[in-house]
Amino acid sequence: MLAEFSPPGTAPSPTSRYEGLRSEYCLSGHPTLPCNVLKFKSTTIMLDCGLDMTSTLNFLPLPLVQSPRLSNLPGWSLKDGNAFLDKELKECSGHVFVDSVPEFCLPETELIDLSTVDVILISNYHCMMALPYITEHTGFTGTVYATEPTVQIGRLLMEELVNFIERVPKAQSASLWKNKDIQRLLPSPLKDAVEVSTWRRCYTMQEVNSALSKIQLVGYSQKIELFGAVQVTPLSSGYALGSSNWIIQSHYEKVSYVSGSSLLTTHPQPMDQASLKNSDVLILTGLTQIPTANPDSMVGEFCSNLALTVRNGGNVLVPCYPSGVIYDLLECLYQYIDSAGLSSIPFYFISPVANSSLEFSQIFAEWLCHNKQTKVYLPEPPFPHAELIQTNKLKHYPSIHGDFSNDFRQPCVVFTGHPSLRFGDVVHFMELWGKSSLNTVIFTEPDFSYLEALAPYQPLAMKCIYCPIDTRLNFIQVSKLLKEVQPLHVVCPEQYTQPPPAQSHRMDLMVDCQPPAMSYRRAEVLALPFKRRYEKIEIMPELADSLVPMEIKPGISLATVSAVLHTKDNKHVLQPPPRPAQPTGGKKRKRASDDIPDCKVLKPLLSGSIPVDQFVQTLEKHGFSDIKVEDTAKGHIVLLQEAETLIQIEEDSTHIICDDDEVLRVRLRDLVLKFLQKF
């Protein structure tokens, strides 16, 4: 059985299945937001459902408060002065942006028929953002598996996203510019934007709820049987609350799917590495996006820049997701603010899901690192942000409207989304604080290029600090991990098999393993190298009792098995053969064909050799006389002259030639078999 592995997306008709290999669409999938489909033992498994949101960087920001600057941007026209695109495209500080509802780049949906996907395995809440597109619009009828924190926090991320976009209704949905002939004429980066025809606007909350209702909750090390053929198991990956890697295995093959893992000690449960051992194939995704930055020193820089700005009377803006690294940042600040003399500075966390995120983080003790778990035994909340809230140092609001506008004091620190700077409350603060060099924006999320994120806000007076904190595995950790767990084959996105384009001399910034990793790119299909030779079968106890083992060599025993094979739900069972039917009186007239034996009944193979002297003695003992033995080149011929029978005996063969005397033939056969072993 061939196990196939097809990156991004969806099931092809048999003929088109390998078309991807021709790589007509040389498009790179997002290595940290994967969406792969694995065909394994007649099961179709989608691994993650990541949504590439970098597409939104091509759009104008959605301001919460009417922004004269953004609404008065000049329309863009072609070099020849043709201005038919000026409604859709606006020029802003030398860049061209699409003035429309922002759109996301979906996983491929044409490569494979997504309605044939049996299950979707989610590794962490960042890798499920495309779920509603897949479960609601492709005919998908399967089950999605994820841990409880993944689902709860994933729901919050989706809720925030939908809220950010629906809060600022935009009449226009630009589509003219996507025309291939027109796109060619546009300036970079629009010209080079990929797959624009598949870009879609955000889903609705209704679609989110429907998608999430298809999820079944699972726990780490839970063994989940799929159709009796495959077992999948989530393992702790150490990257985020409830984040998992997955083992996909049958009794004789094992695929490990590694996605978004971390070996650093932050808040989640540590990564389970041992269970990844003995894999035939290890699929490696979700490595750090900033391999050259050390998360610890980034956190240090974050704190010192924050303190510096605030002490000088400026405000700090931290564009962030509502869950994840923010918990660690708040914990650092908790330890840092008093010593840095920041205790009077208000910290604001603004997100429609801020409260939920802070509350949820405190109830998932079982998914946290050991230190945090022990707090619960006291009982105390595992995260210190509970105390920051209690002491009024940290305040959270659903949005800048309402209570926040009354409480707002400057200088302050604001944590808010979205990190793309294209929607959410962060747009307001960029507009508000961008003009003063006292203020600082600190980028901690690694998903978006900060320069591109800032482009529509230029020129900018505020300071920009780039401290990307990406706790996912770096290449040194990967090679250590691979040495440790020793998979037979590694499969990874092509980006990991060469140094980053900007640092092409850094040969250390790529996956290094033996045999070399098999790489894939968007819209490509890979055949996975399996050499499966066995399948599990159960021998029923009654049959087992009837077997007669025979020791052939020291420590090795053999037993011939004749049994009936039953296969149900992909499980094989061997049962004792039925007893031979009793001859049923002669009432019914037999047809000639009833007597014809079933040639499919297999007789055992024979092995051994026949010592001719002993054989002759045995013949004599059984009443044969007048035996003559002749030597031949390869053995002997035993002649039973009276019976006109000839037995040729060679090392590996015996040939009995006789008249059509069945009784005689059977007697001779049994005497020969005495010297041979059956297999």
Partner 1 sequence: MPEIRVTPLGAGQDVGRSCILVSIAGKNVMLDCGMHMGFSDDRRFPDFSYITRSGRLTDFLDCVIISHFHLDHCGALPYFSEMVGYDGPIYMTQPTQAICPILLEDYRKIAVDKKGEANFFTSQMIKDCMKKVVAVHLHQTVQVDDELEIKAYYAGHVLGAAMFQIKVGSESVVYTGDYNMTPDRHLGAAWIDKCRPNLLITESTYATTIRDSKRCRERDFLKKVHETVERGGKVLIPVFALGRAQELCILLETFWERMDLKAPIYFSTGLTEKANHYYKLFIPWTNQKIRKTFVQRNMFEFKHIKAFDRAFADSPGPMVVFATPGMLHAGQSLQIFRKWAGNEKNMVIMPGYCVQGTVGHKILSGQRKLEMEGRQVLEVKMQVEYMSFSAHADAKGIMQLVGQAEPENVLLVHGEAKKMEFLKQKIEQEFRVNCYMPANGETVTLPTSPSIPVGISLGLLKREMAQGLLPDAKKPRLLHGTLIMKDSNFRLVSSEQALKELGLAEHQLRFTCRVHLHDTRKEQEMAMRVYSHLKSVLKDHCVQHLPDGSVTVESILVQAAAHSEDPGTKVLLVSWTYQDEELGSYLTSLLKKGLPQAS
Site for partner 1 in 156-215 (CB under 8 A): none
Q: By C-alpha distance, which of 104, 62, 288 is closest to 196?
A: 104
Interaction with partner 1 in 297-356: which residues (CB under 8 A)? 355-356
**Residue of 582, 626, 660, 663 interacting with partner 1 (CB under 8 A):** 660
Q: How many other CB atoms are there within 10 angstroms of residue 636's CB atom?
A: 18
**N- to C-terminal Cα separation, the chain:** 27
Interaction with partner 1 in 49-68: which residues (CB under 8 A)? none
Q: By C-alpha distance, which of 488, 1, 531 is closest to 229?
A: 1
SS3 441: strand
| Segment contacting partner 1 by CB under 8 A, of 129-137, 188-196, 319-327, 652-660 | 652-660
Interaction with partner 1 in 247-276: which residues (CB under 8 A)? 251-252
Q: How far is the C-alpha of 504 from the C-alpha of 502, rounded, in Å? A: 6
Task: Please identify, using beta-carbon distances, which residue of 107 and 352 lies nearer to partner 1.
Answer: 352
| Segment contacting partner 1 by CB under 8 A, of 71-79, 276-284, 438-446, 544-552 | 544-552
SS3 198: helix
Which letter does DSSP use for residue 456 in this model?
G
Q: Cis check for the bond before 189: say yes or no (omega within 30 of 0).
A: yes
CB of 679 to partner 1, least distance (A): 4
Task: Please identify, using beta-carbon distances, which residue of 451 and 559 lies nearer to partner 1.
Answer: 559
Does 601 sit near partner 1 (CB under 8 A)? yes
Task: Please identify, using beta-carbon distances, which residue of 75 and 398 lies nearer to partner 1.
Answer: 398
CB of 601 to partner 1, least distance (A): 6
Interaction with partner 1 in 112-141: which residues (CB under 8 A)? none
- Full DSSP string of 80-122: T---TTTTTEEEETTEEEE-SS-EEBPPPSSSS-GGG--EEE-
Token reading at 513:
């393993």
Task: Please identify, using beta-carbon distances, which residue of 63 and 576 lies nearer to partner 1.
Answer: 576
Answer yes or no: are the C-beta atoms of 48 and 123 closer than 8 Å.
yes
CB of 414 to partner 1, least distance (A): 22
Interaction with partner 1 in 568-587: which residues (CB under 8 A)? 572-574, 577-578
| Segment contacting partner 1 by CB under 8 A, of 88-96, 182-190, 488-496, 651-659 | 651-659
Q: How far is the C-alpha of 236 from the C-alpha of 244, rounded, in Å? A: 5
Interaction with partner 1 in 348-387: which residues (CB under 8 A)? 355-356, 359-360, 362-366, 373, 376-377, 379, 381-382
Does 475 sit near partner 1 (CB under 8 A)? no
Q: How many other CB atoms are there within 10 angstroms of residue 519's CB atom?
A: 18
Task: Please identify, using beta-carbon distances, which residue of 502 and 601 lies nearer to partner 1.
Answer: 601
Using CB under 8 A as the binding criterion, the count of chain residues that bind partner 1 stands at 93
In degrees and rounded to multiples of 5, residue 115 shows phi and psi of: -75, -10
Task: Please identify, using beta-carbon distances, which residue of 198 and 355 lies nearer to partner 1.
Answer: 355
Q: How far is the C-alpha of 263 from the C-alpha of 478, rounded, in Å? A: 10
The sign of the CA dihedral 620, 622, 625, 631 is: negative
**Residue of 192, 594, 598, 631 interacting with partner 1 (CB under 8 A):** 598
13: left (phi over 0), alpha (psi -120 to 50) or beta: beta
SS3 205: helix
Task: Please identify, using beta-carbon distances, which residue of 37 and 610 lies nearer to partner 1.
Answer: 610
Task: Please identify, using beta-carbon distances, which residue of 25 and 252 lies nearer to partner 1.
Answer: 252
Interaction with partner 1 in 605-644: which residues (CB under 8 A)? 605-610
Does 662 sit near partner 1 (CB under 8 A)? yes
**Residue of 560, 614, 632, 641 interacting with partner 1 (CB under 8 A):** 560
CB of 370 to partner 1, least distance (A): 10
